[in-house]
């Protein structure tokens, strides 16, 4: 055999040398990766597969002052299946029986479909197959007791992941006041007390199974979650319901855009009801869309006249007995007219009577000559009365009142006289109510509050103490004069249509024109602010109805005042002796109240158990929804709920119960 051609030999030698160098390079890289980077890469890989991850704590509950649950975190379970840990013999033995049980518990698949699904997941050794989402605890336990899933998780492969969802048992009642805490938005008490309610998350080791799926490796925690504390609000569920219903009825009747009602305890400033209802354009259903009572600032209109007269009394520039000629019902200043709603005016009347009749010309004619040359005196007194301050309520979003001052860009010749009857100034319904509450409280202005107490594991850890914003906004004598006029407004003034012999009411109407400078967007706001009983004020209340349909009615005495009367009558009939809880109510009374509740619940449960033992279905009427749901699920029933409130009827269909609430 002849020797290789010299060129072929050189080519072969080069190829061998190249392969040798490539092999050496690969071996060098393997050595570097294995011995130099190896430990770090292994740790990084392990970190991606196994991590100590946070486990959310259970969020605290929110309660009404009368013990009703307003917001709670309900545990729900997501069930997954690690089919790779299950032996084939277990599948063959239990899959049919389990499929039948799952078809009853989780009817989205029938028995045949469940059997096929389980076998398919087993055949491909799926590590994180979905079984069900959003199950209650009792429902989850029933699944866990089926033959295939009954036993140690290392044998069955069943993985249960607990999370919490927020539930409002009373539905829309005070929904906007209670609020929400979400990553993209926050509102209400949920947001303001987030740090108290949220608790502290725990930690546990979890295995990454791909995507965003993590499987707990152990049943124990490396750090136990610490659940959040409970918040007790000042809201009274019964009073809230009364305010909500009265407001909703009137909004529908007058086809208004939105409105609010706020009910405050005079001595303490505790808000017992805060209803806010509005509708989306083109819709006829009212919902709690925004907290208008706290957020929306508008020109208050004639409810502001009370502050104007009180300032004049305090400064000594006017007296309620001063006589003013309101004829001809028009008063021209700087080329613009101040008009009375009554054509021709009311003739010669006292300043007090002008307030009773809500005469614009009477109020302006009495006050403007006294402050025309020194408007700062009137403005300064408004600041002294606290009319320029936020109320400091515990929820976010309260608007700042606006009071124009001489020299401001929005100060004109007409600014001062128009302020006397509530135009040019801006305030929220809650801020107006805080002022009226001070009138009812003998001149002492207290801060409104939605927070009653904080409770941790059944014990009160902090409770609200009444905050005094101003010990005396005016002299007692002048306060009493205003009180007398506010009651006369109901007896013989603009609100005489809501007079009732059974309860003495006091307050002021306010009909304000909105966007009066824009003919295409004009509308009205009807309001009423006052308190009851007039002779011993226990509650103050404000009603604001925004943009009622003009053709149906828009004056405050027929739109807003009747809502005030209906709320006052409903509240006063409820528990007149329990209106103002004594000091130390939560410290001294919580134990006895809890015992009473436990006793009543025990009696209900005993009666239900006895009915079941006798082969009868128990009478659940009057039960709270969470209590009825928990009891039924404990006894193996699947529950469907319709409506809000307490149980009105329970319709039984084999193992499914439909609860109708109302």
DSSP 454-471: EEETTEEEEE----EEES
Supply the pLDDT for residue 492.
95
For residue 452, the surrounding DSSP H or E stretch is: strand 451-456
**Which of the four CATH numbers 3.90.1310, 1.10.287, 3.40.50, 1.10.3470 does domain 56-230 have?**
3.90.1310
539, 571 contact by CB (below 8 A): yes
Kind of pairing between the strands at 69-81 and 323-325: unpaired
Distance between CA atoms of residues 662 and 646, nearest Å: 6
Q: Where residue 586 falls among pLDDT bands split at 50, 70, 90?
A: very low
Tokens of 532: 């009851």
pLDDT of residue 219: 63
* CA angle (560 as vertex; 558, 561 as ends), nearest 5: 70
For the cut 80, the answer to whether the pLDDT of residue 291 exceeds it is yes
State pLDDT tens for residues 93-103: 999 999 999 99
Whether omega for the bond prior to residue 450 falls within 30 degrees of 0, making it cis, is no
Q: What is the mean predicted confidence (pLDDT) over 376-384?
A: 95
Would you say 146 and 98 are in contact if contact means Cβ atoms under 8 Å apart?
A: yes
Q: What is the pLDDT of residue 63?
A: 95
Please give the C-alpha separations between residue 134 and each of 84, 99, 159, 448, in angstroms, as whole numbers: 24, 20, 14, 39
> What pLDDT does residue 478 have?
97
Asked whether residue 217 carries a pLDDT value surpassing 80, the answer given is: no
Go through the chain and tell me how many residues it has: 662
pLDDT digits (tens, 9 = 90+) for 588-629: 544 554 555 555 556 676 677 777 766 777 888 878 766 777
Q: What average pLDDT does the chain have?
A: 87
| β 62-63/230-233 pair status | parallel
- Kindly write down the DSSP assignment for every residue of 22-69, as one continuous string: HHHHHHHHHHIIIIIIHHHHHHHHHHHHEEEEEEPPPPPPEE-TTS-E
At 58 the pLDDT is 80
CATH number attached to the domain at 237-578: 3.40.710.10
**Model pTM score:** 0.71
Q: How far apart are CA 50 and CA 45, in angstroms?
A: 9
Beta strands in 57-103 (DSSP E): 62-63, 69-81
- pLDDT above 70 for 587: no
Contact between 305 and 511 under an 8 Å Cβ cutoff? The reply is: no
% of the chain at pLDDT higher than 90: 62
* Eight-class DSSP state of 580: S
pLDDT, position 601: 59
The lowest-confidence range among 115-119, 559-563, 623-627, 636-640 is: 623-627
pLDDT at position 599: 56
Residue 442 has pLDDT above 80, yes or no: yes
Q: What pLDDT was estimated at residue 592?
A: 53
What are the DSSP calls for 334-392, one per residue?
Answer: TTEEEE-SSTT---EEEHHHHHHHT-HHHHHHHHHHHHTT-HHHHHHHHHHTTTTS---
Q: How confident is the model at residue 580 (pLDDT cuts 50, 70, 90)?
A: very low
CATH classification for the domain delimited by 597-661, as one of 3.30.70, 3.30.10, 3.20.20, 3.40.50: 3.30.10
Worst-scoring range by mean pLDDT, 212-216, 403-407, 419-423, 631-635? 212-216
**Percent with pLDDT over 70 in the chain:** 86
Cα-based angle 48, 54, 59 (whole degrees, multiple of 5)? 155
> How much is the pLDDT for 230?
94
Instruction: Tell the burial category of 148 from Cβ atoms under 10 Å away from its Cβ (0-12, 13-18, 19+).
Output: buried
**Is 60 exceeded by the pLDDT of residue 70?**
yes
**What pLDDT sits at residue 172?**
86
Give the highest mean pLDDT range of 46-50, 52-56, 130-134, 574-578: 130-134
CA distances (Å), origin 507, targets 87, 231, 239, 483, 493: 78, 33, 19, 9, 10
Is the pLDDT confidence value at 510 over 70?
yes
| Res 323 pLDDT > 70 | yes
- pLDDT at residue 560 is higher than 70: yes
Mean pLDDT of the region 278-288: 87
Q: What is the pLDDT of residues 295-313, one digit of tens each?
A: 999 999 999 999 999 999 9
Angle (deg, nearest 10), helices 375-384 and 360-371: 110
Span 404-413, average pLDDT: 91
Quick check: 20 pLDDT over 50?
A: yes
What would the two tokens of residue 197 be?
């309610």
Pick the range with the lowest mean pLDDT from 258-267, 339-348, 484-493.
339-348
Rounded Cα gap, residues 517 and 16, in angstroms: 95
Q: At what angle do helices 88-105 and 111-123 cross, to 10 degrees?
A: 140
């Amino acid at each position: 055999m002849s020797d290789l051609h010299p060129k072929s030999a050189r080519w072969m030698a080069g190829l061998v040398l190249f392969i040798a160098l490539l092999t050496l390079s690969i071996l060098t890289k393997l050595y570097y990766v294995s011995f130099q980077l190896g430990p770090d890469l292994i740790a990084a890989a392990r970190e991606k597969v196994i991590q100590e991850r946070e486990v959310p704590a259970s969020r605290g509950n929110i309660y009404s002052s009368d013990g009703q649950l307003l917001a709670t975190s309900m545990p729900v379970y997501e069930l997954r299946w690690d089919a790779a840990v299950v032996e084939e013999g277990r599948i063959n033995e239990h899959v049919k029986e389990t499929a039948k049980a799952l078809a009853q518990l989780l009817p989205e698949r029938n028995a045949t479909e469940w059997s096929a699904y389980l076998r398919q997941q087993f055949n491909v050794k799926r590590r994180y197959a979905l079984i069900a989402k959003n199950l209650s605890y009792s429902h989850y336990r029933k699944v866990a007791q089926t033959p295939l899933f009954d036993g140690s998780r290392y044998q069955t492969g069943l993985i249960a992941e607990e999370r919490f969802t927020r539930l409002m048992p009373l539905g829309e009642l005070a929904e906007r006041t209670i609020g929400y805490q979400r990553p993209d938005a926050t509102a209400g008490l949920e947001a303001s007390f987030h740090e108290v309610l949220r608790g502290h998350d725990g930690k546990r080791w979890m295995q990454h199974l791909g995507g965003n799926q993590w499987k707990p490796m152990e049943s124990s925690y490396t750090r136990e979650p610490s659940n959040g504390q409970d918040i007790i609000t000042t809201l009274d569920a019964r009073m809230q319901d009364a305010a909500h219903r009265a407001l909703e009825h009137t909004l529908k009747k007058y086809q208004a855009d939105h409105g609010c009602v706020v009910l405050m305890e005079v001595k303490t400033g505790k808000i017992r009801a805060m209803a806010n209802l509005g509708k989306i354009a083109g819709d006829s259903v009212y919902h709690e869309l925004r907290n208008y009572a706290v957020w929306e600032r508008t020109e208050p209109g004639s409810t502001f006249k009370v502050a104007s007269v009180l300032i004049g009394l305090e400064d000594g520039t006017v007296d309620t007995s001063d006589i003013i000629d309101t004829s001809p019902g028009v008063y021209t200043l700087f080329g613009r007219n101040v008009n009375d709603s009554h054509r021709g005016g009311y003739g010669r009347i006292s300043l007090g009577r002008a307030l009773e009749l809500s005469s614009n010309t009477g109020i302006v004619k009495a006050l403007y000559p006294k402050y025309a040359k020194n408007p700062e005196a009137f403005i300064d007194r408004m600041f002294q009365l606290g009319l320029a301050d936020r109320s400091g309520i515990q929820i976010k979003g309260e608007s700042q009142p606006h009071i124009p001052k001489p020299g401001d860009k929005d100060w004109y010749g007409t600014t001062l006289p128009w302020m006397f009857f509530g135009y040019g100034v801006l305030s929220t319904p809650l801020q107006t109510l805080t002022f009226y509450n001070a009138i009812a409280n003998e001149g002492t202005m207290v801060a409104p509050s939605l927070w009653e107490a904080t409770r941790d594991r059944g014990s009160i850890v902090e409770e609200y103490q009444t905050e005094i914003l101003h010990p005396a906004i005016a002299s007692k004598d002048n306060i009493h004069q205003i009180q007398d006029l506010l009651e006369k407004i109901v007896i013989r003034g603009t609100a005489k249509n809501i007079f009732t012999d059974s309860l003495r009411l006091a307050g002021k109407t306010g009909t304000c024109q909105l966007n009066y400078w824009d003919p295409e967007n004009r509308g009205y706001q009807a309001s009423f602010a006052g308190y009851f009983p007039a002779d011993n004020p226990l509650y103050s209340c404000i009603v604001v109805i925004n943009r009622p349909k003009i053709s149906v009615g828009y004056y405050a005495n027929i739109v807003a005042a009747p809502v005030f009367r209906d709320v006052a009558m409903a509240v006063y009939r409820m528990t007149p002796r329990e209106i103002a809880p004594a000091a130390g109510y939560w410290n001294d009374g919580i134990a006895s109240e809890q015992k009473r509740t436990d006793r009543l619940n025990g009696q209900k449960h005993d009666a239900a158990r006895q009915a079941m033992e006798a082969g009868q279905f128990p009478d659940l009427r009057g039960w709270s929804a969470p209590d009825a749901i928990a009891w039924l699920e404990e006894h193996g029933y699947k529950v469907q709920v319709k409506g809000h409130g307490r149980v009105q009827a329970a319709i039984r269909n084999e193992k499914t119960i439909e609860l109708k609430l109302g």
